[in-house]
Amino acid sequence: MKKIEQKTYVIDATDKILGRLATKIADLLRGKGKVYFVPNADVGDKVVVINCEKIKVTGGKEEKKIYYHHTGFPGGIRDISYKALMEKDPTQIIKKAVLSMLPKNKLQNGFIKKLTIIVGNDYTVKDGDIKLDV
């Protein structure tokens, strides 16, 4: 079997729309732009997202969007608004958006491990990293 070459893409999330950025990231993680893409194998690349706290959403989602999760106990549904999650941990907003766009199978965990989200601009670009303007 041939060794799959993984590139690293660096994406600046400043003033980007959340959904459009998340679809691009999900495609890069899966490797959908590659010639040898197959849906049952992990042939994708690594993605580093910087300035995640500067992401934008359209419409009234900044006040209206709510993220839900369940603790597993009776009556254990929890919710947090977009604005509160942005103040608490802005990396989770992009991670949740990308995770929902990846296939729900055994490969999903491997895809999400190749995603690095950084608050601020403190990432040093290495040789071979590709700066991508989405």
Q: What pLDDT digit, counting tens, does each position of 91-117 carry?
A: 999 999 999 999 999 999 999 999 999
| H or E element, residue 9 | strand 8-12
The 10s digit of each residue's pLDDT in 60-98 is 999 999 999 999 999 999 999 999 999 999 999 999 999
Total domains present in the chain: 1
The stretch 41-48 carries a mean pLDDT of 95
46 within a domain of the structure (yes/no):
yes
| Residue 67 in domain | no
d(CA 57, CA 17): 6
In a domain, 21, yes or no: yes
What is the C-alpha separation between 13 and 49, in angstroms, rounded? 7
Residue 2 belongs to a domain: no
**What does the buried/exposed string (b/e) look like for 28-57 if buried means 16 or more CB atoms within 10 Å of the residue's CB?**
bbbbeeeeeeeeeebbbbbbbbbbbbebeb
**What CATH number has the domain bearing residue 35?**
3.90.1180.10
Could you give the count of Cα atoms lying within 13 Å of 20 in the half-sphere of its Cβ?
Answer: 11
Amino acid at the residue 44: G
Q: Residue 37: give the domain boundaries.
A: 8-58+90-132
